[in-house]
Amino acid sequence: AQKITQTQPGMFVQEKEAVTLDCTYDTSDPSYGLFWYKQPSSGEMIFLIYQGSYDQQNATEGRYSLNFQKARKSANLVISASQLGDSAMYFCAMREGRGNTGFQKLVFGTGTRLLVSP
Partner 1 sequence: DTGVSQDPRHKITKRGQNVTFRCDPISEHNRLYWYRQTLGQGPEFLTYFQNEAQLEKSRLLSDRFSAERPKGSFSTLEIQRTEQGDSAMYLCASSSQREGYGYTFGSGTRLTVV
Interface residue list for partner 1 (CB under 8 A): 4, 33, 35, 37, 42-47, 50, 52, 91, 93, 95, 99, 101-103, 105-111
Distance CA 35, CA 27 (A): 14
Q: Which is nearer to partner 1, 15 or 62 (CB)?
A: 62
CB 9 → partner 1: shortest distance, Å? 9
CB 34 → partner 1: shortest distance, Å? 10
CB 16 → partner 1: shortest distance, Å? 28
Distance CA 35, CA 107 (A): 10
Q: Which is nearer to partner 1, 102 or 118 (CB)?
A: 102
Whether 68 and 20 have beta carbons less than 8 Å apart is answered as no
DSSP H or E segment with residue 79: strand 74-79
CB atoms within 10 A of CB 59: 20
Q: Which is nearer to partner 1, 11 or 45 (CB)?
A: 45
CB 72 → partner 1: shortest distance, Å? 21
Q: Which is nearer to partner 1, 39 or 87 (CB)?
A: 39
Q: How far is CA 87 from CA 3, 22, 33, 45, 117, in A?
A: 25, 16, 25, 14, 9
